[in-house]
Amino acid sequence: MSPKVGVAPLRREQIVRATIRCLAREGYSGLTMKKVSRQARVSQGILHYYFTDKRSILVAALEGVMVDLDRRVAAAQARSGPDPRRRLRALIRASLEVAVEAREVWIVFVEFWGEMMHDRRLRAINAELYIRLRRLLAALVAQGVRTRRYRRVNAAQAAAVVLGLLDGVALQLTFDPKAFSVSAAARFCEEALERYLAR
């Protein structure tokens, strides 16, 4: 039996949030449909109506945390104004804040990446996600070049450098939130990128 109109998106979101909590607590190896249904307070039958298996629910969890991260970045960039350097800084700071304030976001990434190494379909999903992220960053770099805020660089290659730096520092914060503060981490990234992109 299908859910009532209007209930389906809410129920699906409820299940995805429960999955994210389970992944953050026990990892993908400890994730079971039974645990997710218990955490979401739905029957296993309802859970299987929305998701066929662990892989499909892992993909939904990744999509869920990306929506969260995108919202945070968009809000930070809206406050930063149109300057590409400030928008890039806002993106970096918002992403690093998530590593401390909402660690489950980066934990879901780590769990997804671990499974992706053994699953072609998951690798394709990750590849598409990274293409999108590099395009977003490349657009900021290209805008910085056009407005003479940055030196002339290959925007696509620069985007890969920015993303690599951001992933690496955010993962360090996720693994050890006491290693350095978000402010210090943001400063490391900003200084490195200023040296790399400065005219």
Each residue's pLDDT tens digit, 80-130: 999 999 999 999 999 999 999 999 999 999 999 999 999 999 999 999 999
pLDDT, tens digit (0-9, with 9 covering 90-100), for 46-91: 999 999 999 999 999 999 999 999 999 999 999 999 999 999 999 9
The whole-angstrom separation of Cα 155 and Cα 169 is 21
Which residue ranges make up each domain of the chain?
1-52, 59-197
Is there a shared CATH topology between the 1-52 domain and the 59-197 domain? no
> What does the pLDDT read at residue 124?
98
Higher pLDDT, 134 or 3: 134
Pair of tokens at residue 165 = 């730096």
The DSSP-derived string for 44-91 is HHHHHHH-SSHHHHHHHHHHHHHHHHHHHHHHHHHHH-S-HHHHHHHH
CATH architecture of structural domain 59-197: Orthogonal Bundle (1.10)
Split at pLDDT 50, 70, 90, the class of 9 is confident
Q: Report H helices in the chain.
A: 7-26, 33-40, 44-50, 54-80, 84-101, 103-116, 120-146, 155-175, 182-197
> What does the pLDDT read at residue 150?
94
Domain covering 1-52 in this structure, CATH number: 1.10.10.60
Pair of tokens at residue 146 = 């056009």
> What does the pLDDT read at residue 199?
78
The whole-angstrom separation of Cα 159 and Cα 137 is 5
> What does the pLDDT read at residue 39?
94
